[in-house]
Amino acid sequence: MNKQEFLARLREGLSGLPQDDVAERLTFYGEIIDDRVEDGLSEEAAAAEIGPVDEIVSQTIAEIPLPKLVRERVRPKRPMRAWEIALLATGSPLWLSLLIAALAVLLSLYIVIWAVILSLWAVEASFAVCSLGGAAAGLWLVCRGGGLPGLCMISAGLVLAGLSVFLFFGCRETTKGALLLTGRLARGTKSLLIRKESAQ
Amino acid sequence: MDIQLKRGLLDVCVLAAIKNEDSYGYKIIKDMKPYVELSESTLYTILKRLEAADMLTVRSAEHGGRLRKYYRITGAGLKRIEDFRDEWQEIMSIYQFVTREDERHE
């Protein structure tokens, strides 16, 4: 792949991004290839040293904030005609409600994921508090002469302490998983915007 | 290595690469290569971040019949390197403390 082919593939991959961003990145990679060629490499070797275009595209999409991508997506590429504006205004009850619904679905997905995480940590915290409370109440009962109920309370406290230790690791891993999942969700949404733009 | 730590280190490395003279993308990568491998896409992100933070400025100059972007460090960039050197002294003190503890148990 020579310089032109490399830049053409990169342009195609980044076509859904803001145009000023794309132009700046193409200039940057074009310069890097030229400098490598000046250093004695062929265009093909220079492009190969930079790495696969797909990787550059994925990394770039991950770096650009979602609101910036959405702004670029909804920005008209040319001045709108009067009938287009009229059609947009007339159809707004339909497309606006669909857009709000799509955003609400995305938002609810985020909320559901983090609500599960929050609930797990709440259970973990209640186990930890109950184990301490149980052990303390058990000791108090033993001191007050209630030997058997006191010992039962202490045992229950210890069982809860053990459970809270196990649950802590589970919560930690689940939180990590949720972070990964929300990251993928954001990347998926971005890729969707880019793909739709490229397909046009 | 922790991502935030690595990001901070790479920022300082790029600033150090343009500390003594204005430099350009490929030269920055070449100068850093003996110490740390840096991909072009990572360098681009770092340069944009440093430019947004006013730690470097960019100018285009003609070179061999084409335009090439040169990056120049600013006062804020030089201060970041100075701050890094101070921070590093602190980190080295902690490192020495940690490794001394290890030696006692060997």
pTM tops 0.95? no
Q: Collapsing DSSP states into helix, strand and coil, what is residue B69?
A: strand
Residue A87 pLDDT: 85
Q: What CATH architecture does domain B3-105 belong to?
A: Orthogonal Bundle (1.10)
Q: In whole angstroms, give the CA distance from residue B42 to residue B10.
A: 9
- Joined together, the tokens standing for residue A89 give 């205004």
- Joined together, the tokens standing for residue A143 give 């001191």
Q: What is the DSSP string of A38-59?
A: HTT--HHHHHHHH--HHHHHHH
Select the residue from A20, A35, A63, A68 to test the B interface by mutation, using most B Cβ atoms within 10 A. A35
| A:B CB pairs within 8 Å | 40
What is the overall mean pLDDT for chain A? 86
Nearest to A60 by CA among A110, A16, A4, A106: A16
Domain coordinates in residue numbering, chain B = 3-105
What is the overall mean pLDDT for chain B? 89
Nearest CB among B26, B64, B67 relative to A32 is that of B26
Say what percent of chain A tops pLDDT 90: 41
Q: In whole angstroms, give the CA distance from residue A139 to residue B101.
A: 39
| Phi (first) and psi of residue B79, to 5 degrees | -65, -35
Residue A117 pLDDT: 92
**Tokens 């709000």 -> residue:** A100
Contact A35 B69 (CB under 8 A): no
* Residue of chain A minimizing CA distance to B41: A56
pLDDT of A199 > 80? The answer is no
Q: Collapsing DSSP states into helix, strand and coil, what is residue B27?
A: helix
Contact A29 B40 (CB under 8 A): yes
Query: B 44-103 residues with CB below 8 A of A?
Result: 44-45, 64, 66-69
Question: What is the CA angle B35-B41-B47, rounded to 5?
Answer: 75
Residue A74 pLDDT: 67
Nearest CB among A36, A56, A59 relative to B26 is that of A36
Give tens-digit pLDDT for B24-77. Answer: 999 999 999 999 888 898 899 999 999 999 999 999 999 888 899 999 999 999
* Residue of chain A minimizing CA distance to B67: A31
Nearest to A37 by CA among B23, A12, A29, A60: A29
Q: What is the DSSP string of chain A?
A: --HHHHHHHHHHHTTTS-HHHHHHHHHHHHHHHHHHHHTT--HHHHHHHH--HHHHHHHHHHHS-HHHHHHHHHS-SSPPPHHHHHHHHHTHHHHHHHHHHHHHHHHHHHHHHHHHHHHHHHHHHHHHHHHHHHHHHHHHHHHTT-HHHHHHHHHHHHHHHHHHHHHHHHHHHHHHHHHHHHHHHHHHHHHHHHHHHHH-
